[in-house]
Amino acid sequence: MNLKTKVGIIICDRYRRCAGGKCLRAMRNKEGAFSIYGDDELELVGLTTCDGCPGGNIEYAGDEMVKNGAEVIHLATGLVVGYPPCPYIATFKAFLETRYPVKVVVGTHPIPRKYLDMHRNLGTWEDPAWKPLIEPTMSDENTRAGYD
């Protein structure tokens, strides 16, 4: 029997005009950070931005998503791959998990190869604190290339 997991997604405000194609494709195909769900059916119950630095919408968005049944909130891959990456990711994750009965996953779609290459060249993710933040969205080379 498949379970249904209700998911919310918070994207970086820099990408507020994003149509969500990569995140929704990854959710549908269970790629990137959505690979953790196995055979579970996923239902999107909220999608919004953080409202810009320092994340003025995080509290409201979390509240609204939980009211809509969210069990998991994903902080979109754009928060990790943008230039510079979001300095508030750990704060957002800690706040949401402390304030609401939800799990927070950093990432949605696989990190596109072009972003991975750039961040490696820049040394952005050399600090060990980044390893757990990028791990859910690393995927394999072919999958990453499909998200370029």
User: Domains in the chain, please, with CATH?
Assistant: 4-145 (3.40.50)
Report d(CA 141, CA 146) in Å as an integer: 9
Query: pLDDT by residue for the chain (148 residues), tens digit each?
Result: 568 999 999 999 999 888 889 999 999 999 999 999 999 999 999 999 999 999 999 999 999 999 999 999 999 999 999 989 999 999 999 999 999 999 999 999 999 998 999 999 999 999 999 999 999 999 888 998 899 8
Determine the Cα–Cα distance for residues 121 and 51; give it in Å rounded to an integer. 29
- pLDDT tens profile 16-55: 888 889 999 999 999 999 999 999 999 999 999 999 999 9
pLDDT of residue 2: 62
pLDDT at 144: 87
DSSP state of 81: H
